Structure 1
Amino acid sequence: IFPYRLGSAELGLKSVWHRLLGDVHKIGSGQEPPVRLCHSAPAAVVQQKAVDVKTEEFKLVYRFPGIKYCRVLSRLKLLQTATTVVMLPPICYLYLQDQVSQNILIYTTGIAVFAGAMLYGMSYFFRRIIGFIYLNETGRTVRVAHLTFWGKRNDIYCPIETVMTLDEVGDSKEELLLQFKRYNSTDILYFTIKFGQIVDRQKFTQIFGKPE
């Protein structure tokens, strides 16, 4: 009886093993698509839509000529802060070796802290200044260009129905900085009509409404 039972177990294991090999062969031959391909299909569709939006033609609506100066100042501030931070460790080492005074150490540390605070403040402001605003040919998608922390350009694509008009925001045309708000985001960007240029007033009104 014991040998018979052992042989039945071996036959059962062989049957399961052959079944697994058959399933692997079907998947490898394309007879049965893997489940992970089905899950990756929606991601591929979203990625394709993003590519279509980026390759679509946009018309310039607004531009701020001073954005190039903001970019230069942002990168110069990064360079100044990096230089100050690099100089701090050697000064600390020389102070520990009694080769520089305590006043020099305090002065260098103060400059490094001040440069870091200035960098944070300037980058916080420059990153929220809009340089360009575009609208696609169908009038459904708005593209906004602003600076990143490193002074590079970053484009934001948003449906026009998510952009708040100036009346909804509560800003008037006479204000120096106007708010760019969206219903689906808490981030606030800024643009200026006083120092900026409205290239296409019809499209500008289509996006923000008629300014008071």
Structure 2
Amino acid sequence: DGSPSDGVPRPGSKEDARPLWFFGTWECSQRREPPARLCHSAPAGVVQQKAVDVKTEEFKLVYRFPGIKYCRVLSRLKLLQTATTMVILPPICYLYLQDQVSQNILIYTTGIAVFAGAMLYAMSYFFRRIIGFIYLNETGRTVRVAHLTFWGKRNDIFCPIETVMTLDEVGDSKEELLLQFKRYNSTDILYFTTRFGQIVDRQKFTQIFGKHE
């Protein structure tokens, strides 16, 4: 009959055409149980068609994090800095072998290159796990999550709402700075913040994550 499996009303409404980046709560009385079977095999053509259908569906913005745009800028700047350092290092090594630069300059340049690489890895590891947007489709059955890639670009993940763990199941409370976005069918963990982010649709947020204690 098209109604959500958890018994909570899931009204559908079209999202503003322009992407947004920002948070709240609502209350639901039932706890979502883990699905017995999260996926099943299907012909490749059917799977591909379903993926196309999901991407063309209308999704309602539930949560946005305005700081994601700054994370994107920092991620790309770090890539540029690391690339520049790696380009400079080989000529410095060559000049050192030709006795045209001192050992101190070589050590200094190498240290900067290693530090830049380590910082790039650390920042990329963190930024790629920060959620910028969370959406719910009109039927209330599919959750769409937007986060950054290694290159600072946007990547969208589509997952059935039944596979998303509630905050109660994850064990996070509202006092925590970063809340975990976990799924039953994946070991990957993403993060979002209620302190610096914004719940745009409190009802749909609770449909996904349960009551925000």
Whether the TM-score (by the shorter chain) exceeds 0.5 is yes
Letter in 1 for 2:72: R
| Alignment correspondent of 1:53 | 54
Aligned ranges 1:1-212 → 2 under 5 Å: 42-212=43-213
Indicate the RMSD between aligned Cα atoms, in angstroms.
Answer: 0.8
Task: Tell me how far apart the structure 1 counterparts of residues 116 and 129 of structure 2 sit (CA, whole Å).
Answer: 20
Structure 1: 5+ residue runs without aligned partners?
1-40
- Number of aligned residues: 172
Letter in 2 for 1:88: L
Task: Tell me how far apart the structure 2 counterparts of residues 170 and 149 of structure 1 sit (CA, whole Å).
Answer: 28
Q: After TM superposition, give the deviation of residue 44 of structure 1 in Å.
A: 1.1
Give the match's secondary structure for 1:146. strand
TM-score by length of 2: 0.80
TM-score by length of 1: 0.80
Question: How far does the alpha carbon of each residue in 1:22-61 deviate from its partner, in whole angstroms, 9 at most, with x for none?
Answer: xxxxxxxxxxxxxxxxxxx911111000000000000000
Give the match's secondary structure for 2:43. helix
Task: Tell me how far apart the structure 1 counterparts of residues 104 and 68 of structure 2 sit (CA, whole Å).
Answer: 39
Q: Percent of counterpart pairs with the same letter?
A: 95
Question: How far does the alpha carbon of each residue in 1:146-174 deviate from its partner, in whole angstroms, 9 at most, with x for none?
Answer: 00000000000000000000000000111
Question: How far does the alpha carbon of each residue in 1:159-201 deviate from its partner, in whole angstroms, 9 at most, with x for none?
Answer: 0000000000000111100000000000000000000000000
| Alignment correspondent of 1:16 | none
Letter in 2 for 1:44: G
The structure that has the greater radius of gyration is 1
Give the match's secondary structure for 1:187. strand
* Runs of 4+ residues deviating >4 angstroms: none
Question: How far does the alpha carbon of each residue in 1:133-153 deviate from its partner, in whole angstroms, 9 at most, with x for none?
Answer: 000000000000000000000
Task: Tell me how far apart the structure 1 counterparts of residues 159 and 148 of structure 2 sit (CA, whole Å).
Answer: 17
Structure 2: 5+ residue runs without aligned partners?
1-41
Give the match's secondary structure for 2:124. helix
Letter in 2 for 1:204: F
